[in-house]
Structure 1
Amino acid sequence: MKLLFLACLSPQTGNHTTAERIRSHIESAGHTCELRDAAEFQSPAEVARLVSRNPPFEGALAIHLFRAGRLLLDIQVPFGVIFGGTDINEDVKVEQKRVVMEQVLLKARFAVAFTDKLKEEAELFLLSQSSKICVQPQGIQTEATKTFCWTEFLRSSGVSSEHVDELRVFVLVCGLRRVKDPLYLVEVFSEWHCENPLNVLVIIGPKIDPILSAEVEAVVKSRGLLGSGEEPTGASRCHEKVLRRGQQLRLRGHVSSHLGGHGSRGTRVGQGHSRKCSHSAA
């Protein structure tokens, strides 16, 4: 089967990671899957012409009902849609977008939600199409390279490796951008770490929004969350060191949580020390 797959393919985003993973799975099953960026098309008519070209596509798939699914409304082959968080958290609040999303859901052969909660919210805010919506959780597969050393990784990140076996390391995978702003997590986790220094948080992901990234680093700096002995620019230098180290820890797939983590290519860690306790925080 030849399939057209539409998604928002902005670099270093969860959509891109998820789309590539699904495309790979489809092709491994023996089908042909052409992944295209939804931003390439201005109207459903353009996609309809693409689908009907020779040899024609036999089906289609889209991530996000509004951003990509609306482009499939004019095609004459069956298609499925995959809910994105933006569909329910943002787009459904806009009446014009909600109407289009309902049209897409009505015409789609099936719809996929990654969580039960996302399905419930879709049924609440959109026309009830519960029979079409199936829940298929995402997963993540990790592989450490043969040369990867956990102790060295923590040390290079500014985390004390004196009690490596006792540390409880939490990993948040997300690229820094407004919709993925983890600043509130900094304060909460810092307090928790103050109570128990063995709790460590590591954020893995690229600096997608340089302005927000600068704001986050400013907050980290103002709270004294820098490695011991670092100069004022230590946070940036530490980031580059950890970025190189982090590439040794390959993350494939998509991490789905209420924080909206995304598989990505780098690592970002902020760490610091207060007067009475040591903080390791995003």
Structure 2
Amino acid sequence: MRVLLLASLRARTGNGTTAQRIQEHLEAAGHVCFLKDTFSCDSSLVVSKLISSENFDAALAIHLYKAGRLLQGSRIPFGVIFGGTDINEDAKCEEKVQVMEKVLNEARFAVSFTEAMREKAISNWPHTRNKIYVQAQGIVTAPNISFNWKKCLQSAGIPHDCNSLCFFLLICGLRRVKDPLYLADAFSEWHREDPSVQLIIIGPAVDPVFAEEVKEKVQRADGVHLLKEIPQEDLHAAVKKCFAVVNSSISEGMSAALLEEFVQLSKSLISDPCLQRKIVTRAKEYVTKHHSWEHERNAYQNFVLSLH
């Protein structure tokens, strides 16, 4: 089949890498999968013309509102994949809720990355329960890659001996909803107590205006550093070399109480090598069990067969 996959394809973003991974899964089964950036499509008419000119047999969309709405009224069958924004942000807007309901009604199936996301979707659209499936994102363990960590740190303005420091890594596109400054004040306070702890924020300026706010804040925050996006291979290597990866998001309901807990638990983790090893071991087991790349591949290949 010739399959159109609509998604936000900004370089080095979660949507972009997910779309590329799904494309690889489908092409491994002999399908032709064409990626199209939603930002280049200002209406469903544009997508309809594309479908006709390229003779697509079916379509997939990542995000019901951002991409799925462009397939409304399509002459070809399609499936949709929930994004966090659909459930955590767009579901707060009644107009968008109505659009997403229409998309779900037309879609042959919908994919949720987690059971919690599926339950939230069902609470909004109960009649679609039987067409929403859970498929966690697949993860492939990155091979060992040579990476000049010291050079990376120096570019962030960290002149110290990197072997004596403890680095936490926050990876995200600089946009308000990801709230990369969530930990900044708490981390600076901790850094003043213990200069060895450092927080490095890495990511592209998705929102240029907000990115400037982040830059100004980081310049005033002790122990917090900002790096521009780096190649994916280097990013994977940086993740392996740092002490821990942290995450934050306004839309995912991070409470202020988590700040105190974060510092307390991080201190415990630093001082307890046994706990470190236990968490790493269990994390690997969890990824192997719940984020199988092979299982994801089989799932999407079967999903697409239902569009035939």
TM-score, L = length of structure 1: 0.71
Residue 173 of structure 2 aligns to which amino acid in structure 1? G
Deviation at 1:46, TM superposition (A): 4.1
Provide the residue aligned with 2:29 in structure 1. Answer: 29
The 1-side partners of 2:193 and 2:76 are apart by: 58
Provide the residue aligned with 1:50 in structure 2. Answer: 50
Residue 249 of structure 1 aligns to which amino acid in structure 2? D
Would you say the 8 A contact 2:8–2:37 is kept in 1?
A: yes
The structure-2 alpha-carbon separation of the partners of 1:168 and 1:35, relative to structure 1 and needing over 3 Å to count, comes to same
The 1-side partners of 2:189 and 2:246 are apart by: 25
Q: What are the Cα deviations for residues 238-279 of structure 1, in whole angstroms up to 9, with x where unaligned?
A: x6xx65987761449xx996539xxxxxxxxxxxxxxxxxxx
Provide the residue aligned with 1:94 in structure 2. Answer: 93
Query: What is the percentage of aligned positions where both structures have the same residue?
Result: 46
Deviation at 1:120, TM superposition (A): 1.9
Provide the residue aligned with 2:300 in structure 1. Answer: none
The unaligned stretches of length 5 or more in structure 2 are: 238-244, 251-308
Provide the residue aligned with 1:279 in structure 2. Answer: none
TM-score, L = length of structure 2: 0.65
Deviation at 1:47, TM superposition (A): 2.9
Would you say the 8 A contact 2:170–2:180 is kept in 1?
A: no
**Does the residue aligned with 1:57 lie in a helix, a strand or coil?**
coil
Deviation at 1:83, TM superposition (A): 0.8
The 1-side partners of 2:152 and 2:192 are apart by: 22
Deviation at 1:10, TM superposition (A): 3.9
Cα RMSD for the two superposed structures:
3.3
Deviation at 1:31, TM superposition (A): 1.4
Would you say the 8 A contact 2:65–2:90 is kept in 1?
A: yes
Would you say the 8 A contact 1:6–1:62 is kept in 2?
A: yes
Residue 60 of structure 1 aligns to which amino acid in structure 2? A
Provide the residue aligned with 1:72 in structure 2. Answer: 71
Q: What are the Cα deviations for residues 171-214 of structure 1, in whole angstroms up to 9, with x where unaligned?
A: 22101122223112111233344455554332221123332222
Q: For structure 1, which segment, 151-160 or 67-76, has the greater mean C-alpha deviation from structure 2 after superposition?
A: 151-160
The 2-side partners of 1:199 and 1:224 are apart by: 10
Deviation at 1:82, TM superposition (A): 0.8
Greater strand share, structure number: 1
The structure-2 alpha-carbon separation of the partners of 1:256 and 1:24, relative to structure 1 and needing over 3 Å to count, comes to farther
The structure-2 alpha-carbon separation of the partners of 1:20 and 1:256, relative to structure 1 and needing over 3 Å to count, comes to farther
The structure-2 alpha-carbon separation of the partners of 1:206 and 1:244, relative to structure 1 and needing over 3 Å to count, comes to closer
Matches within 5 A, 1:195-274: 195-225=193-223, 243=228, 249-251=234-236, 259=249
Deviation at 1:162, TM superposition (A): 5.6
The structure-2 alpha-carbon separation of the partners of 1:135 and 1:78, relative to structure 1 and needing over 3 Å to count, comes to same
The structure-2 alpha-carbon separation of the partners of 1:137 and 1:188, relative to structure 1 and needing over 3 Å to count, comes to farther
Residue 207 of structure 1 aligns to which amino acid in structure 2? A
The 1-side partners of 2:220 and 2:7 are apart by: 39
The 1-side partners of 2:232 and 2:76 are apart by: 41
Residue 109 of structure 2 aligns to which amino acid in structure 1? F
The 2-side partners of 1:113 and 1:196 are apart by: 41
The structure-2 alpha-carbon separation of the partners of 1:203 and 1:111, relative to structure 1 and needing over 3 Å to count, comes to same
The 1-side partners of 2:197 and 2:182 are apart by: 17
Deviation at 1:12, TM superposition (A): 4.8
The 1-side partners of 2:84 and 2:236 are apart by: 21
The 1-side partners of 2:38 and 2:230 are apart by: 34
Greater helix share, structure number: 2
Residue 213 of structure 1 aligns to which amino acid in structure 2? A
Would you say the 8 A contact 1:45–1:74 is kept in 2?
A: no
Q: What are the Cα deviations for residues 24-44 of structure 1, in whole angstroms up to 9, with x where unaligned?
A: 332233210111122443443
The structure-2 alpha-carbon separation of the partners of 1:78 and 1:145, relative to structure 1 and needing over 3 Å to count, comes to same
Residue 214 of structure 1 aligns to which amino acid in structure 2? E
Residue 259 of structure 1 aligns to which amino acid in structure 2? S
Provide the residue aligned with 1:2 in structure 2. Answer: 2
The 2-side partners of 1:159 and 1:137 are apart by: 40
Provide the residue aligned with 1:268 in structure 2. Answer: none
Residue 171 of structure 1 aligns to which amino acid in structure 2? L
Would you say the 8 A contact 1:141–1:251 is kept in 2?
A: no
